Amino acid sequence: MEISMSNMNKYIMSLDQGTTSSRCILFDKQGRICSMAQKEFAQIYPEPGWVEHDPMEIWASQMSVVTEAVSRIGASADDIAALGITNQRETTVVWDRRTGRPIYNAIVWQCRRTADYINRLKCDGMEDYVRKTTGLVPDAYFSASKLAWILDNVEGARKDAAAGNLLFGTVDTWLIWNLTKGEVHVTDYTNASRTMMFDIHNLCWDKKIIEYFDIPEVMLPQVKPSGCVYGYTENSLFGGCIPIAGAAGDQQAALFGQCCFDAGEVKNTYGTGCFLLMNTGDKAVESKNGLLTTIAAGTDNDVQYALEGSIFVAGAGIQWLRDEMNILETSAQSEEYARSVEDTAGVYVVPAFTGLGAPYWNPYARGTVVGITRGCTKAHFVRAVLESMAYQTYDILKIMENESGVDIPKLKVDGGASKNDFLMQFQSDILNVDVLRPECVETTALGAAYLAGIAVGYWKDKDDIRKNWAISNTFHPDLADAGRQELLSGWERAVRCALAWAEA
């Protein structure tokens, strides 16, 4: 089908399928939000450390917010130049191609149920091979062991998979398959690079790894660049065929949305987790200290790479205070509580609810609170949870500087928690660098929109979209070195306690 651009194409539609909610945002040529809708969906915890989603609820919630977003401004399919998708990465869906129904719940990136699979892989001498081939530290975080678990534990799954009846996908693949009514089974380089099955150097599924996990290659989607036309929405969904022209894992989409196109540029996204990415250009930098080498989002086959530090719990810590602990009524209250006290009264919270990610990679660590005295109040506790995001970011940024050989004088930030001025100022103080918050902090969705828009000519090129990026606030460090070092020393002791629990 030939793509036709007309004056009627007012918007780019971005589907932002996250860990706790689905969103739809319509952007204009200036990168401004014209309409937005969001819907949370259920988090399923079958056992401690296990996390699941219902793939049908993901699909239903995503369609619901599309309907809401377009109806708010009276848009139609003719108004949409293209559709881009960004998604929670690593989350694993397996479905029957004949029925379109999942054979099991989606196993979420946070889920630790396959830690034993990874231990076995290491014992079998595969660790170095996996690291060099995929750029990843072997961990239950990634899709490969999750997929193997589903095949091992759902009755008849291995037989159906071998017969070619089952399909695997990360959430982008699941959405595209449904948007095209089963016509297109595809993923992009960024999502493929997070499965722990993809050779990031030769840009193909790695036969040795998929054979190790006994995964039939016929299950795996075709892999394409992040910005290209994958297919078209089925006509009945939106009353017209819209090009699906962009897809990227949420963190790579945010890197693109922040216009970090050049080697050495860095962004941090404060979402459910926290993810620090540095563009390393056409060089795949191999980390020796727990960072990941991954593929950055791009609009063609000329692949760029990134160094990444993954923090499993960031905004999820604030949600925990709100939903499970009932300490907060709203997430926004956290800033008010944090500002009501001068410090944390010596309290540190290490939010290792599902283990510790970079640079520790310990799936058995658990949440730890240290330094509590009789004088600890709710406000001190809330502030300590907020500060933990900044400390975890520090751990990664310093390693990133050392391994890349690049001094990082500024950090671009985005994501929901980046709206918290207290947190951003504390982040600047702890890092001793300027923190730059753009006018549009929805850079994950914006990145997907940019990828799709460039693919269909809505925007000309990267220089065209770079003009849209604008700073809203800059936070400058305002903490003496001695105070910074004292705080960081306390954090290091707290992390040692969390790791010691894992060893008990």
Task: Please check if 355 is assigned to a binding site.
Answer: no
Asked if residue 263 belongs to a domain, the reply is no
Structure-block tokens of residue 198: 């993809």
Ligand-binding annotation for 89, yes or no, is yes
**Which residues, 6 or more positions from 380, have their beta carbon under 8 angstroms from its beta carbon?**
341, 343, 344, 345, 347
Angstrom distance (rounded) from CA 394 to CA 403? 14
Any domain includes 6: no
460 in any annotated domain: no
- Tell me, what's the pLDDT at 8? 54
Amino acid at residue number 28: D
Cα(216)–Cα(196) distance, integer angstroms? 15
Compute the distance between CA of residue 310 and CA of residue 196 in angstroms, rounded to an integer. Answer: 15
The response to whether 250 counts as a known ligand-binding position is yes
Token duo for residue 298: 């791009």
Side-chain half-sphere of 124: how many Cα atoms within 13 Å?
14
Q: Is 21 annotated as a binding residue?
A: yes
Question: Any known ligand binding at 322?
Answer: no
Residue pair 448/16 in contact by the 8 Å Cβ criterion: yes
90 labeled binding residue:
yes
Q: Is 112 annotated as a binding residue?
A: no
On whether residue 227 sits in a domain, the answer given is yes
Residue 4 carries which DSSP code? -
DSSP secondary structure, 28-65, as one string? -TTS-EEEEEEEE---B-SSTT--EE-HHHHHHHHHHH
Check whether 270 is labelled as a binding-site residue: no
Q: What is the pLDDT of residue 16?
A: 96
CB 113 within 8 A of CB 92: no
Task: Find out whether 105 and 54 touch, Cβ atoms under 8 Å.
Answer: yes
Termini Cα distance of the chain: 60
For 214, residues 6+ apart whose C-beta sits below 8 A from its C-beta are 148, 151, 158
C-alpha to C-alpha distance for 357 and 118, rounded to whole angstroms: 14
141 is in an annotated binding site: yes
Asked if omega into 46 is within 30° of 0 (cis), the reply is no
> Residue 102 has which token pair?
């999942």
Place of tokens 């793509």: 3
What local confidence, expressed as pLDDT, does residue 286 receive? Answer: 86
305: in domain:
no
* Full residue range of the structural domain in which residue 102 is found: 11-250
- Residue 288 in tokens: 């020796």
Could you give the CA distance from residue 303 to residue 132 in angstroms, rounded to a whole number?
17
Q: Give the integer Cα–Cα distance in Å for 31 and 94.
A: 35
Nearest to 117 by CA among 192, 209, 19, 221: 209
Structural domains in the chain (count): 1
Domain CATH number, residue 216:
3.30.420.40
Cβ–Cβ under 8 Å, residues 136 and 195: no
Give pLDDT tens digits along the chain (504 positions): 434 444 457 999 999 999 989 999 999 999 999 999 999 999 999 998 899 999 999 999 999 999 999 999 998 889 999 999 999 999 999 999 999 999 999 999 989 899 999 999 999 999 999 999 999 989 998 999 999 999 999 999 999 999 999 999 999 999 999 999 999 999 999 999 999 999 999 999 999 999 999 999 999 999 999 999 999 999 888 888 999 999 999 999 999 998 988 888 899 989 888 889 999 888 888 888 888 899 999 887 778 999 998 888 888 899 999 999 999 999 899 999 999 999 999 999 999 987 888 788 887 888 999 999 999 999 999 999 999 999 999 999 988 888 888 788 889 998 888 999 999 999 999 999 999 998 887 889 999 999 999 999 999 999 899 888 888 999 999 999 999 999 999 999 999 999 998 776
> What is the C-alpha separation between 422 and 344, in angstroms, rounded?
13
Q: What is the pLDDT of residue 127?
A: 94
Is position 96 within any domain? yes
Instruction: Output b/e per residue, 220-241; b: 16+ Cβ within 10 A.
Output: bbebbbbbbbbbbbeeebbeee
| Amino acid 3: pLDDT | 45
CB 498 within 8 A of CB 368: yes
Q: Is 20 annotated as a binding residue?
A: yes
* Per-residue DSSP letter, 416: G
Task: Confirm or deny that 227 is annotated as ligand binding.
Answer: no
